[in-house]
Each structure stands twice: as C-alpha cells, then as structure tokens.
Structure 1
Amino acid sequence: MKRIEESILFFEDIDLDLEDGVPRVVRDFQKGEFMEIVNSPDCEEIFADVLSASLDEPLDELLEKGAQQFLDKSGSDHKEAVRVLCVGAAALCAWLQRAQCGPAPAAEGEEGGAVRWLGGRGREAAARAALERAAGGDAAPGARLPHPPLLLLAAAALRPCAAHPLLQTGRWWCARALWAWQRALREPSPALHARLAALLEDGPPGPLRGEAWLWLEAAGAHLCFGHLRPARAALDAAARAAGLAGLALVGALGKRTRFQQKDLAQLTLKVEVDDSSPQTPLLISDSLPKDLRLDDDVRLEKVQFTGDGAPTLPPLSPVQQAVVLNTFILVQRSQPHDELAHEELLPYLQVVLSEPQLWSVQAAALVLRSRLESKQRRTAERAMSQLEEVVNALKGPMPGVRARLRGLLATPLPLLADVQCDLAHALVQLGCVQSALDIFLHLRQWEAAVTCYTLLDLRHQAAELLKRELAVQETVPLLCLLGDATDDISQYERAWELSGQRSARAQRHWAMHHFRRKEYEESIPHLELSLQCNSLQPELWRRLGYAALDTENWQLCAKAYRRCVELDPENMEGWNNLAKAYVKTGQKARAWHALQEALKADFENWRLWDNVAAVSADVGAFDEVVRAYHRLLDLQSGRHVDIPVLQTLVRAITSEVKDSEGQNASRMRPQALALFGRITSQVTTDPEVWQLYAELTASLPEQTPQTLERTAQYLQRAHRAAAQKQGWARDRNTCQKTLSLSSHLADAYLTCCRVQPEPQRLLSSARLSLKSVLAAVRQQVEVAAELSSDVEELQVKLDAVESAIEVLRAQ
C-alpha cells in the first residue's frame, strides 16, 4: 500500500492490478473521478455518524470526528486508512479543479461540486461559516472560494490522517489541504499558519523519489505567509534533491532591440546541474498553455546573445524548472519593486519558458511573466493577451485534470479568480478601465471595483455600490471599503464593532486613513490593534515602524522593525531603521550588528556604509571604520568626507584607547594613514582632513626628519585650504579654528627647522602664512576683539618664528 500512497501523492499512473485488494476509491482517483469518490458509498460510510448529527453542531468538527472514528474502528487495516486518505485527497483535488487549475467539469449545473450526502446546497452556508470560524474572522474566504464543502471535507478528513501511524503521506496531504485553504483566504490566518508550521516542521515524508516536489510545496507554503528564511531553506533542499547545483545571474553581450548595432551587456541566468543526482522522471503534458509572441516593432522576442557569450542552458527536468520558478518568487519577495528588479527577474522566467514541459509549470510561468510585463509599455499588450490565453486554458477541456495536478502545488500558479483579476489589472494598465470594472464586479472584487470607479471619476457610484451590498448583508470588508470611499471614520468603527473587536482589517483601514494623511501619531494605536489581531502582516509592521520613527517612539520603532526583519531577513531598510532605533535608545552594539545584517542585503548602498562607519566609530570597531570608509570611497568616487568619524578614529589612535576587542587602537595606525592618503588624493581642499592627517602623522612613535616634514606639509595644506575659504575671518567659529590651525603650523615649523638642512626657507614660509592670517583677522574689528587671546597667542608664535629667523641670519 505504500506504493499506492506514493502514486496518489504524485498523481502517478501505476498498474493497480499488480496490487492486492485495492480500494475502489483508489482506482477512481487514478482516473481523476474525484467527485465520484466524494459522493460514493465509500465516502458516505466513513462519515455515517455525520449524516444523523444535528445541523447545529459545527460541521468541520463533525466531519473530523467521523473520519477519526472510522480510522479507530479500522485499527491496523492499512487499506481502510488509505481509503480515508483517498477520500480527503479527492475532495481537495475536486476543489483545486474548480478553483485553480480546471478543466471546468462538463455539464455541471448549480449543484455541480456539491457533496450530496451533506444535503447539497443546504450545507454550503454551514461549510462557509465553519471555514470562517476555523480560519479566523478577517481570513474569511468570501466570494473567491467556490464550493466550500469540498475544501472543508478535505481538511476535516485529512487531519486525522496526519497522525495515523500507517499513513506515510497523511501528514503531507493534510498540509496540502491547509495551504490550499490559506490561498483561498483574504488574509493570512494565524490559526492555519500554526497548524501548517507544525506539519512542515519535520520536512517531507521520505525517502520518496519525488522529494524535490515536496520541498517545493513547503517553500511555497512558507512564502505564502511571507517567511523568507524557512522558504529559502526549503528551496535549497529542493534544489539539492532535484540535482540543481546553482543558479546565478550573469552578464553577456547581446542585442535586445531590432535596430541595436552595438552589443551591450545583458542579464541572463546561469544554471548548473549536478549530473550525479537522481532525476525526477520527465512529465511532459499535452495541450500546454500557448506562449504568445511579443510582436513588437522595436523589441526582440528574446535577447540575441553574441557568439558564445551567454552560458549554455542544460536540459532541465520539470522539477528543476519548478525550482527556478520558486526561486523567482523568493527573489521577487526579497527586493524592492523597480525597473532594475524587473531586469533581474525576467531571466528566471525565460529559462523556464524556453523548454515547455509540464502544464502547471508552464501556466504559472506565463502568469508570472504577464504580471511583470503588464507594467512595461512595450509589453503590456502581450501581457493582457497572454493572461486571457491562460484564463481560456484554465477553463478549457484539455489536458485532463490529472495532467494539470502534477506538480501544481509545487508551483506558484494563482487561483483562477486571481488570474482573472490579473487580467483585469492588465486592462486597467492599457486604459480599458470599464472592461476591467466588469470583471471585478463579476468576481465581486469590491476593492478593485472601487478603484476603477475612482479612475472613471465615478466615486459616488462606488459608494452606492457598497451601500447596496451592505443593504443585503453588513460585512467588515464592505464597511471598510465604504469608509475608504467616503473618508468616513464611523464606518471603520462600525466594522470594528461588527467583528466583536477582532477584525485586523477594520483597524488596518482605520490606521491607513490617518497614515495616508501623515497623521502618524493617530495611526499608531490602530496599527498596533490590527497587529494584535493578526501578526502576519509584514507590510503593516513596516508602516508601524515608520510611524514610530517619525514620532520618535524609539522603543516601538525597534519592536516593529525587529518583527519586519524576522519576517524578511533581507530587508535592508528594516535593518537600517532598526539600527537607528537602537542608536537612539543607547544600544549601539545592537545597532552595529543590525547594520552588519543590512549590508548582507545591500552591499552597494553608500548611505548604509556611512551609517556603518559612524556606528563602528561609536562602538570602537575601528578596523570596521577603516573598511567601511574605504567602501564609501569606492562608491563615492573617492570624494566622501565624514569629519566626526575621522576625528574619532584619529583621537582613538593618538590616545591609544582600547577598541571593541580590547586591543590598543594604535595598531590601526598604518591602515588609517593609508586611508588618509587615499582621501587626500581626491579631497585636497578640506582643512580638517589635512589637519587630522597631520595629527595622525605626528603620533608616529619614531619622529624622523621626513616624518616631521610631512607633518608640517600637511598642516601647511590645511592652513592654505582654510585661508582660501571666502569670508572665513568674518565668522567667529571659522576664524577661531584658523587661528588655532595657524598656531599648530607655527609649532610644527619651529620643530621641523631644527632637523632640516634649509630651516630659514621653512620659517620664512611660516612667517608669511601667520602674517596673512593676523592681518585678515585684525581687519574684522569685532571678531578680533572677541578672539583677542587667540590673536595674541598667534602673535607670540609669529614673534618666535621671526626671532628664529634672526638667529639663523646671524649665524
């Protein structure tokens, strides 16, 4: 029976005549006759206790109890356990056929998809209510969930199978049902997440030949909740099991447009395959969704690479293509949505679409490419036509349902209603707003419909539409949308009360009402309440962090951004803002570690490196200060200047303080001198940089004549840069700094002249510099009076220089 379980799990065709006592439901499952199984006597027998139960009892609990009792009665009979598993799997597949992959069952009327032994449509309202109760209020499925009894039956029948000791694949089928359930919901459900996480914790059942497919399903489930770290781990395991050694974006010369004369660098995906790994058998489907040509008068269908410039793409099996497709989703979730991201993502889809094999992989890749292209002017029309083609393929009769189900749950193919929404959004991009509105109204997607009415300058009709629907039934989503359409806060209050003060959505809309108006202080309580109701809202954590940052609520800011980076460890902005919150709360060591994580997400951001340099200086990580500053010079063409950071570095070295590792900071003197040499090769007119360079040089243990001369030269460069600044003598602070610098210059020359062969030349240069400074200061009577002591001190230094010159002349 284990072989039969595996064939059910992967929708494989096996010769059932070779197996003894195969249950009839298994044979029907292999034929794809899922509704026949659901409405068969075998299924009725399993849930016999449910048929006589009171309708007042929760339907999901009754169904689960019926399945559990049947399994308990069957004891150690593996065949009877497989029978229950097959019924649950058939209910799930029947739901997937109607909600996601098709084909639309032939000759199904209003009663189509009904579980007849549950009382037909009389039980649909109960099933929808049970799904809503089990998933949580805001996660209610609404109109996008067709045939709720099928999904409820699948989840209830498969839950006891998960813990059955004889069923190797029961746990995974239960996870599949929960994930399908989550994908049909409006919001992430914490209740479903907790159950699903527990089922996925131990990884796929095994060992199985199709293990890679199961790892991909796990990755997709984690991505569904926005948890990127476990998703990446599952995806890495899938790649290893599928024999993919590596995926990397590389550049190659080629042409993108028809009229391009010169080859330019183009991004492409390099795929490395591990030939030693076992390969999943090839599963080539018939009647694949058609990939439409671009047919643009400028842009080529695909990049034409020059000669051997592009890496050769090895033949990929369907499971390897699915790994590439899920990697696309992971990369897309990990980076901002901009033009550069579009260029980095498209090569993943081009690899998958270059060799169509499996129906589910091909359909998913076409939808994802259309989503990218709908935002581009030259590809928007192809995107719209492609989505229309995919919708027709999903509804079309060929291929059969089993061919479509192979690999389906391991791909990011959206539900049919979502693909239709994508088509409507593509129509909006092309200006066909009325056509898009018709689709949204048919799908009962009220939020998108309100947006269309707004674009058509018919906002009053949006309010009327929502009020008509509310007259039929008051719901939290409709009240929230009415509040958005009318800017009426009382609608959010009504939605909050209607939900029994449990709706994350009501508080979210309420918060965003204030947030969009930059009323951040008012938005914070509502953001917090929404997240208390449902913590699986990554975007809302980010908004809470921003609102707290703007209002300088640093403790709350740190809490929010900590949650952001837990959900998305590659969120550079989150790590950076978390570091700022830590700095403001005096936790500079934690800020430094947060910035190190931010660098992993964005190594090319100069502002981030600037923060790293500043915080590293504060915590005494002086080796990191030097590294960060060199990186800043790389990114800023060598012209970056941050005086406070450089001052901290120089003071630490000259004062021989202990660094963060307990070592003497003076060990960094050679690296710091090299850094200043690099800075001053590009920045030649900043007096403070030259003065710090001089201080660092003067701190060398061995003061040779060459060292003393370099110190004097650097101070001379600093003095010249300061004296050349227009109006320096009129500003008290600048004037005081220049007087102090001149005093240091005089001391340096008096010291240097003792060991130099031409001391009179050096002293004459010093005298000229000091006289010009004193003359400029004395012209500003008020400033000179305020700085009289500094002026007198410099005059004393000038007298000393002149005396030294007189002594040299007398020799």
Structure 2
Amino acid sequence: MDIRPIEIALLTGTWHDALDSQSDAPVATIAKNVVNGDFRDLTTSPSRDLFTVTQSRTENLLDRPLAEWFDRTQNLSSPGSSASTATPDDELLRLSCAVACLHAFVQANWTGPDLDIKPLDVLALSPELSQLVGEDRLNQKAVSELAFGGEPAYHLAQVPIFLQLARILLDTPFQHVQTAPWWRLRAWLVHEQVLDEPVAVPEGVFGAAAPLLDTFASASEPDLAGRLLLEQGLLEHYVGHDKSAAEYFVRAARATQLEYELTGALGKRTRFQQTDVTQLILLAQSRVRGDGSDPRQDADVSTGKKEEGAGPTTSAESETASEASSNNHNNIAEKAPSDPALPETLLLNDDTLLEQTAFTSSPNAGTPGSRLAHIDPAAQPALHPLDQAILLALCLNVRNTSPAHGLTAEQMAPYVARVLAHPRNWTVHTMALLLRTRLEAHRTRTVERAALQLQALVEQMPSADSPAAERLRFVHELVLPSRWEMEKELARRLLALGVVKSALAIFERLELWEDVVRCHASIERPDHARAVVRDLLAGRKTEADAVLAHAKASSDARRSTLDAARAAKLWCLLGDLEPEHAVEHYTHAWELSGHASGRAMRSLGGLHFARGRYAEAIACLRRAAAINPLQARTWFVLGCACLREEDWDGARAAFVRCVTIDDEDGESWSNLASVYMRMGEAGRRVDLEDGDEDGVRAAAAATADEDEDEDRDRQAVGPQGSRPAEKAKATAQRIPFTNKLLAFRALKQGLKVSYENWRMWSNYMVVALDVGEPAEACRALARVVEERAAKDGPACVDEDVLDRLVAAAGSESDNAVGKTETETETNANANAKRATQTTGLERRVADLFERTILPRVSSPRIFRARARFLTAQGRTADALAAYLDAYRAGPAGTIERGETDVEKWRVGVGEVEEIVDVLRNFNGSGNRDEGEDGAGAGAGDGGRSWRLQARSIVRTFMGRTRDNFEDEPEWARLVALQDEIRKEDA
C-alpha cells in the first residue's frame, strides 16, 4: 500500500474519495476516521494494542515513566535498535494513533467540541491495574512528565495523557513514514503552549523537519510546502525568534503563491463622512488550486459581501446594513443558513463608526504596475483558508517587528479585515476575531465590542455548531490560544476595565494563582494573597467548584500528590509576597523542584542583584539561564551583574544572548557597547597609555547610560552613584580600536529601536568620533540637543565634541581646497574657494549650528566654535560677528555696573584682551555695521575700523567696572591695552 497519500491526508485534514479505492486495509480506515475527527478507533483493536499495559509491570507502576508502561518490543520499534522490523502498515497505524491522541488533546483544550472518548477507554489495563490507575492519577502523572525546561505544565489541562501518549508514539523510530518529523514539530508547538513559559526547542525538531521541503512538500505540492514553512515560523514566533519567524512567513506566502500588497484606497470609515479619504487596505489574491476550485470566485454570503464584478458597496448601503444590524437585540451578526460552521461575530453598532470601511470602487487600486492593481477594493475575491492563516501570521509579524504604538495597530487592522471579509473556516475565523478584539481593546468606541466578542469566543468552545474535523483542519497553522489562555485573556481584559470581582472569579476557577495575587494586590489586599498561597501549600485550600464537580481528589490527597514543579512555583510566589523571607522561600523552591526550577533561580538571582550581592546573583542567574535560555531578562540581569563584577567576557556573552533573543532590545545593545568600551583584547582591564585621553573619554561615555527613573525594572550599568567625569578616571584603560568599532555598531543597532534615548545618542556621539565617523557624531549631537535643550540649556551641548567636529570640518575644507589650488593662487583666491566650496561634513556642521543648536541654546564657547568654523570656510565677516557674539554672551559682555565678583571680573579682563586680539587679526577684513557697545564698525575703513571697535569695547568694560575694581592689579592691563590701541590709531 502506498502510504504517501494517506500521510498527506493526515497532514491536511482532508480525505479524498479516491483514497477509498486505493486500499481496504484496516489501517486506511483508521486513518480516514482520524482525518474526519473520529478518534473512537483508539478504544478498539488494533489501535488499543499499542497502549496495552502488561501485568508484569504492576510493581511500582505509578513510579515508572509512562513510556515504560507499554511493551515496546511487541507493538513499537525499539528506540535502541539499529533496524526495525515494522512494516509500512505498522508505522502508519502508529502515526495515525499518535495523530488521533494529539488531536484529541487539541480538541479538548483548544477547538472543542467535547470529546466522546476517555483516557481509560484507550489504555488496555488488566482488572488489577484498573484498581490502581484512575483517570485523575493518570492525568496528574502526565502533567508531571510534560514539565520541561524548568517550566511546569498547566495542571488543569484536560486529558493531558493524550498529549503524552502522542509524544511517546512520535518519539519511536520511523523508517517508512516520512512525515513523523513534521508531526513532532506540531506536537512541540502544542507542548510549548501547555507550559507556563516558552522554552528552547530541541535542535532536532527543526533539523529533522527541514528536509521535508525537498523530499515531501516539493514544488508539486505548494500548499504542503506553505503549511510546513508556516508552522515552522509559528514555532519560532512562539519562542520569541521574531526575525526568523518573519522569514518563514514570507517564504510560506511565496510557496502557496499568495499575492498581497498593503496599499491605500479611497473610502469612508464613519457614517458622516461626505468625502472619500485614503484608507489603508490589504489587497490579496489566492492562486487557483489544482483541484479546479478557485477561491477567488467564492464570496461568502454570510458576510453580505458582493461577488467580484457585482459592483461596489456604497457608504449608503453600509450605513443601511449597520442600522439594520443595530436592531439585532443580541448584538450578534446573523449567519447564513447555508453555512452554520462559523463562530458568532458581534457587530459594532456604533453611532459614528461604520462596521467596516466602505471603499470606493476602483479598477486600479493597487500600486501602478502591481499585479493586484486590477482588484476592486470594494469587492475583493475570497481567499483560501491556508492563505488566510498566512495573512494572520504576517499580521502577528507586524506586531513583533514594530514598536508599541497606535500606528502598529492601524497597520495590523487591514490584515485582520481582509480575513474577516470572507469566512472560510471556523478556526481561522475565530483567530481573526480574536486578533480584532486585541486591536479594538484600547479604543473607546470599540472596547465594549472587544470584551463581548472575547466572551463569545470563550463560550463557543464546547458547542457543537461545527464538526471537529472542520475545527482541526487548520489548527496547526494558527497560534490559537488554548481554552484556559483565552479565559485568562478575558479575565485580564475585565481587570483592565475595573471588573475585578469577575476577573478574580475566573482566575480562581483556572487556579492561576499569580493572577489571583495580582488581583488582590490591585484592591490592596496583600494579606489575602499571602493567605491564598499558604493555604495552597498547606493543602487547606480546596480546588474550584468546577474542578470538584469532576470528582477530583480531596485536598489532603491533592496535597500529597502535588506536582513538584507547581509546588516550587507556589513557593516562589510566596517569596515574592514576603520579601523578608524571600531567600528562604526561593531556596526551598529550588530544592523542592530537584534543582529544575528556573523560576526559583531567576527570582533568587534578581534578589541578590537588588541587594548588591553580584557574585551570588551571577551563580544563580547562570543556573536559571542554563535551564531556560529563552528568558531575555535573565540574561540581561546576568550581564549587569557581570559588569558590576568587572567580568567583561561574561557580560559580553550575556548581552549577546539578549540581543540574539530580542534584537530590538535597545538597552542590551547599549550595555553591550559599554562592555566593549571597558574591555581589552582578552577581556581584561589594562593600563592607559600616555596621551590616550580619547579612550578614557569614550569609556566614560559608554558607562554613562544611567536611567533617571530609579523605579525602572532594569537597572543601568556602571557603578551606582558615579557620574561620567568620575567614571572617566575609574575606567582608565587602553581600548583597542576593534572594540571601539564593535561598540559603535552595537550603539547604532540599538538606536534603531531606542531613537528617543538621548543617553545612547550621547554615547554614540563620542564613540563615533573615536572610530572616525564625524558625520554620525554630528547627527548624534543634533539629536541630544533636540531632546535635552529645553531642560538642560547650553549644558546639553558637548562642547569638546563640537570643537572636534569643527576641527574635522575645517581640515576637510582645507583638503578640498588644496586639491584645486595652484601654487600661483593667492590667499584671497583660496579664501574665495573656501567660501564657495563645501564638503559633506561642512554642510552637516553648518546645519548643526544654524538649524539645531543656535535656535535653541547659546554660550560663549558655542559662538567661538562657530567662529572658527566660519573662518575655515573663508567667511571672515560672519566669523568676526560670531566672535563678537561670544564676547557679548561671556562674563565681559554681561557684567553690569556694581558687580563685586572679582573672579568674574578677572575672567572678563581676559575676554576683553582676547576680543581685541581677534579684531586685530581681522584687520582689513569686511565687518558688520556698528552695534551695541560700539562693537562694530563700518566696512571700508580698512585698518581704522577695528581700532575704533576695540577702543569702544575696552572703554565700555572699564566704565562699568571702574568703581569696584580700579585698585586690582589687572586694571593696569586694561590701561595698557587702551594706550596700545590709541598708539596704533595714531
């Protein structure tokens, strides 16, 4: 028997009639029933023979792993054997039973309706064993074995034994069945969602499934290739590898030949709009499938959509439909009688917003030249359900790769609207409605519909309004939350709306004690939270009524069989609630879990870090990271602790893991740059060489990334309480250029996601200068000034950096002029060339002065830097004006009559002497007209003009300060300067 078509049917959830004529083998009938959502064959032979528990294993049966309950030598191929005697039919039976167990678990916890089989009906137990093994004990054992990576499995999941049985079957070797690695991938995605936190996926899961793209899901099966790529992307998405997930999603769309384009089209969003406005829209079109079906010609009647070519939907029609729907007293969109397999869709019924954007009919809505330009935005064709699932995945990718901003929701909405427009599958439509509720939960006019729609989605799970096969067909192509996760989301939504009592009832029923504690804390009842946890640990608190109704064990029996992973988590929770005994509780949780609780080590490490015990924190956090390496926060705190201990290699490794997990973590990029600026070639501190002041300055800037908000969860790196000037001395070291370049690249990457972080810009500015990137330093200085000018004034300008930028721009200008200047050209010609020739850096520095700094702040040093810059450009008149502005802004220009500060006066004397020298050096240059304090002279007077100007400045300064400072020794310098100018004038 050719088992390949049956394997494809199991993967796609569709059984074709042609398969009935290929084989009448019993295993083919079993596979057909599994595809159709009927798992009752698990309770009969030959399927039940795989789950026979022999009497020879009755001794200490409950202490043995479930995999050892069965006689693997008869029914399963031994994992340790080098060759298998199993036939293709045997392996297909094993695969079909594994799929049945996996889908039974998914149906019970994800899609519904309720199962019609029980675990004890599947296991073949002798009468003696039946007395020992009950369904409750069986499920508790399965939950315990499903714990992985230090994370416990959800203890109230229904029939978890089915998931464990599926994993046991799929872990056996297969030689004839090719799709077993694919089903392992699916089982891992389900398993991940049962755990409290995502954990790292074993390497073999992805590696074994990848070859199927070439050997099984080839180009002749584009939908199979699309499914596999999509499911790989969803698993990457769930564990937080967003960049890799995005690549898989795009490849899946290409594999199925889905064409889509996010563009704009004219339309109306409110009832009162008179003119069309450009609205964001997703144009999409599926390919014609090989079976002759064309989803593009199908328009779902249940949504009232017109078929392609039937004409546009006008705003008047949309408004009429909305008014008609508002008469529906249950606020439920009516479904067409011909298509009952759809979830309830609530209408908005708003007096302003339309139910959906009313687009104006247009034959050319897409981008000119696009293959989708022919699609009418008012009547788009229906999509294949697989393509709809891909669009929902791409919608999730928009959220993953975009900041938390209202524009992100606006960009996600067209993907969801495109899927909701033509419902084709119960599960896909449910996922689209769920995404819509998440997008609408933060808008005033839609928050009510969002909460009610989520409630409707929760209540529809047990219903039988659609067959199980329909619900399971595309469940692996979605990240549909489990039933308890959806209820938890509903409870958190209610909590956000202030409905604390209802939220608390849901959390207690689901036994989500962390959320129960959070609810008590929100209503300022911490004592109740501690009492709840202590009662759970002592066995005094019974389970929820819904659990007791299922004949669960009493509290005493429950306490004796309490899962170790769950008990450890409760002790960690108690440690959070009782800080004075936190170390004791976290340590007890670690010991109770058998050194497997990542939560305990994360909490203990964070506590040690907060108390300044960095060595102990490093030891704990490394254990936690080894258990669950996907926790980015664990790596971040570990990196900060290593920084405090000056373990540069450890800090670098930790922050590299942070940015690997989340490449949009700006703080980790900044701290990684700080590590590079503190370490030598081998990661050790080395002495600063003479004259290496730039290295000190760069290191000081890299350590200056302290956050002003002390309540932030993440703490900035660097010694607490130290400031950049102090850090420059404390971190004296010789920094290799390679490290500076790595720091520059890290900061550049971090600024992509932390554009508003002025401290990162400040660090980037200094490091950019050290690696020879003055243009980037100029851009960074502009950002710092823009962010801090209003608060810090002139202090926001790093004047040392500004001076270096001016020097670099002047050097670049001289080089540019030198390339064209001949030996016979005069200095005047060279100055003329400088005035007309500008380089890239010169333009940036000029914009920095004219558009960024001077419109916001000013200081004498800033004016002097600009004067030097203008001098290098050959703009002598403007340069002299800048020097005069610097004089007026300094102590000499601002000193008033009656001033008594002698130190300020002495500084002013030096400034007067300096400005006179400047005027003397500009002798013969064109100057601006005379201004305040006589600080100006008419052009055309040649050498006389500067003397008049200088004499006026000296006379004015002496007149203001004569009364208080005439007896000072420096007064003689002013008198001598005045006589000198008079003599030159003569």
Q: TM-score range by the shorter chain?
A: 0.7 to 0.9
Cα displacement string for residues 85-110 of structure 1 (whole angstroms, at most 9, x for unaligned residues):
1111111111111111111125x6x7
From the superposition, tell whether residues 568 and 125 of structure 1 become closer, same or farther in structure 2 (CA, over 3 Å): same
1:11-30 mapped onto 2 (5 Å cutoff): 11-15=13-17, 16-22=19-25, 23=27, 24-30=29-35
Matched to 1:155, the amino acid is R
Kindly state the Cα deviation for residue 799 of structure 1 after the two structures are TM-superposed: 5.6
Q: Which residue number corresponds to residue 40 of structure 1?
A: 44
Residue from 187, 194, 202 that aligns with 1:184: 194
From the superposition, tell whether residues 141 and 422 of structure 1 become closer, same or farther in structure 2 (CA, over 3 Å): same
Cα displacement string for residues 609-652 of structure 1 (whole angstroms, at most 9, x for unaligned residues):
55433321232212333455677789999998543332222234
In structure 1, C-alpha distance between the alignment counterparts of 2:892 and 2:289, rounded to whole Å: 70
| Cα pair 2:104 2:115 within 8 Å, conserved | no
Aligned pair 1:413/2:569, yes or no?
Answer: no
SS in structure 2 opposite 1:301?
Answer: strand
Residue from 86, 95, 103 that aligns with 1:93: 103
Residue from 879, 886, 893 that aligns with 1:718: 886
SS in structure 2 opposite 1:502?
Answer: coil
In structure 1, C-alpha distance between the alignment counterparts of 2:147 and 2:634, rounded to whole Å: 20
Kindly state the Cα deviation for residue 401 of structure 1 after the two structures are TM-superposed: 1.2
Residue from 76, 95, 105 that aligns with 1:67: 76
In structure 2, C-alpha distance between the alignment counterparts of 1:744 and 1:499, rounded to whole Å: 79
Kindly state the Cα deviation for residue 367 of structure 1 after the two structures are TM-superposed: 1.9
Residue from 210, 216, 222 that aligns with 1:209: 222
From the superposition, tell whether residues 629 and 274 of structure 1 become closer, same or farther in structure 2 (CA, over 3 Å): farther
Cα displacement string for residues 528-551 of structure 1 (whole angstroms, at most 9, x for unaligned residues):
443243221123334555677799
SS in structure 2 opposite 1:154?
Answer: helix
1:173-252 mapped onto 2 (5 Å cutoff): 173-190=183-200, 192-200=201-209, 202=211, 204=213, 205-207=216-218, 208-210=221-223, 211-245=225-259, 248=262
From the superposition, tell whether residues 340 and 403 of structure 1 become closer, same or farther in structure 2 (CA, over 3 Å): same
In structure 2, C-alpha distance between the alignment counterparts of 1:526 and 1:117, rounded to whole Å: 45
Aligned pair 1:2/2:43, yes or no?
Answer: no
Q: Which residue number corresponds to residue 167 of structure 2?
A: 155
| Cα pair 2:866 2:882 within 8 Å, conserved | yes
SS in structure 1 opposite 2:197?
Answer: coil
From the superposition, tell whether residues 274 and 299 of structure 1 become closer, same or farther in structure 2 (CA, over 3 Å): closer
| Cα pair 1:212 1:241 within 8 Å, conserved | yes
From the superposition, tell whether residues 529 and 31 of structure 1 become closer, same or farther in structure 2 (CA, over 3 Å): closer
SS in structure 1 opposite 2:355?
Answer: strand
Matched to 1:20, the amino acid is S
From the superposition, tell whether residues 567 and 777 of structure 1 become closer, same or farther in structure 2 (CA, over 3 Å): farther
Aligned pair 1:625/2:774, yes or no?
Answer: no
In structure 1, C-alpha distance between the alignment counterparts of 2:973 and 2:761, rounded to whole Å: 41
Aligned pair 1:564/2:680, yes or no?
Answer: no
1:228-377 mapped onto 2 (5 Å cutoff): 228-245=242-259, 248=262, 268-271=280-283, 282=295, 286-297=340-351, 299-303=353-357, 313=377, 314-315=380-381, 316-377=383-444
SS in structure 1 opposite 2:222?
Answer: coil
1:672-711 mapped onto 2 (5 Å cutoff): 672-682=841-851, 683=854, 685-699=858-872, 707-711=875-879
Residue from 569, 583, 590 that aligns with 2:742: 590
| Cα pair 1:114 1:147 within 8 Å, conserved | no
In structure 2, C-alpha distance between the alignment counterparts of 1:343 and 1:498, rounded to whole Å: 48
From the superposition, tell whether residues 73 and 372 of structure 1 become closer, same or farther in structure 2 (CA, over 3 Å): same
Q: Which residue number corresponds to residue 491 of structure 1?
A: 585
From the superposition, tell whether residues 272 and 776 of structure 1 become closer, same or farther in structure 2 (CA, over 3 Å): farther
Range with greater deviation from structure 2 (601-610 or 573-582): 601-610
In structure 2, C-alpha distance between the alignment counterparts of 1:116 and 1:458, rounded to whole Å: 50
Kindly state the Cα deviation for residue 297 of structure 1 after the two structures are TM-superposed: 4.4
Q: Which residue number corresponds to residue 809 of structure 1?
A: none
Cα displacement string for residues 666-689 of structure 1 (whole angstroms, at most 9, x for unaligned residues):
9x9722332343234341644333
Q: Which residue number corresponds to residue 758 of structure 1?
A: 941
| Cα pair 1:630 1:675 within 8 Å, conserved | no
Residue from 482, 485, 489 that aligns with 1:422: 489
| Cα pair 1:239 1:320 within 8 Å, conserved | yes
Q: Which runs of 5+ in 1 are unaligned?
A: 660-665, 807-811
Q: Which residue number corresponds to residue 663 of structure 1?
A: none
SS in structure 2 opposite 1:146?
Answer: coil
| Cα pair 1:364 1:411 within 8 Å, conserved | yes
Q: Which residue number corresponds to residue 799 of structure 2?
A: 643
Aligned pair 1:31/2:25, yes or no?
Answer: no
From the superposition, tell whether residues 511 and 288 of structure 1 become closer, same or farther in structure 2 (CA, over 3 Å): farther
Residue from 486, 506, 509 that aligns with 1:439: 506
Kindly state the Cα deviation for residue 416 of structure 1 after the two structures are TM-superposed: 0.9
Matched to 2:67, the amino acid is D
| Cα pair 1:367 1:419 within 8 Å, conserved | no
From the superposition, tell whether residues 540 and 281 of structure 1 become closer, same or farther in structure 2 (CA, over 3 Å): farther
From the superposition, tell whether residues 122 and 275 of structure 1 become closer, same or farther in structure 2 (CA, over 3 Å): closer
In structure 2, C-alpha distance between the alignment counterparts of 1:355 and 1:774, rounded to whole Å: 87
Cα displacement string for residues 701-734 of structure 1 (whole angstroms, at most 9, x for unaligned residues):
xx6xxx4434333323333344697559956597
Matched to 1:537, the amino acid is Q
In structure 1, C-alpha distance between the alignment counterparts of 2:967 and 2:505, rounded to whole Å: 76
Higher share in helix: 1
Cα displacement string for residues 355-397 of structure 1 (whole angstroms, at most 9, x for unaligned residues):
3222222111222332343444443322221112112222110
SS in structure 2 opposite 1:41?
Answer: coil
Q: TM-score, normalised by structure 1?
A: 0.83
From the superposition, tell whether residues 349 and 556 of structure 1 become closer, same or farther in structure 2 (CA, over 3 Å): farther
From the superposition, tell whether residues 771 and 413 of structure 1 become closer, same or farther in structure 2 (CA, over 3 Å): farther
Range with greater deviation from structure 2 (525-534 or 589-598): 525-534
SS in structure 2 opposite 1:9?
Answer: helix
From the superposition, tell whether residues 135 and 439 of structure 1 become closer, same or farther in structure 2 (CA, over 3 Å): closer
Matched to 1:716, the amino acid is L
| Cα pair 2:143 2:155 within 8 Å, conserved | no
SS in structure 2 opposite 1:461?
Answer: helix
Matched to 1:10, the amino acid is T
The alignment's C-alpha RMSD in Å is 4.4
Q: Which residue number corresponds to residue 919 of structure 2?
A: 746
1:445-464 mapped onto 2 (5 Å cutoff): 445-464=512-531
| Cα pair 1:74 1:81 within 8 Å, conserved | no
Matched to 1:198, the amino acid is G
In structure 2, C-alpha distance between the alignment counterparts of 1:338 and 1:784, rounded to whole Å: 63
Q: TM-score, normalised by structure 2?
A: 0.70
Kindly state the Cα deviation for residue 592 of structure 1 after the two structures are TM-superposed: 0.8
Kindly state the Cα deviation for residue 183 of structure 1 after the two structures are TM-superposed: 1.0
In structure 1, C-alpha distance between the alignment counterparts of 2:197 and 2:503, rounded to whole Å: 23
In structure 1, C-alpha distance between the alignment counterparts of 2:361 and 2:949, rounded to whole Å: 65
Percent of aligned pairs sharing the same letter: 28
Kindly state the Cα deviation for residue 476 of structure 1 after the two structures are TM-superposed: 0.8
| Cα pair 1:745 1:766 within 8 Å, conserved | no
Q: Which residue number corresponds to residue 829 of structure 2?
A: none
Cα displacement string for residues 189-231 of structure 1 (whole angstroms, at most 9, x for unaligned residues):
34x4444343455574421332212211111101111112221
Paired positions, count:
783
Matched to 1:3, the amino acid is P
| Cα pair 2:37 2:468 within 8 Å, conserved | yes
| Cα pair 1:158 1:173 within 8 Å, conserved | yes
Kindly state the Cα deviation for residue 148 of structure 1 after the two structures are TM-superposed: 2.1
Kindly state the Cα deviation for residue 411 of structure 1 after the two structures are TM-superposed: 0.9
Range with greater deviation from structure 2 (323-332 or 202-211): 202-211
Matched to 2:172, the amino acid is P
Range with greater deviation from structure 2 (201-210 or 269-278): 269-278
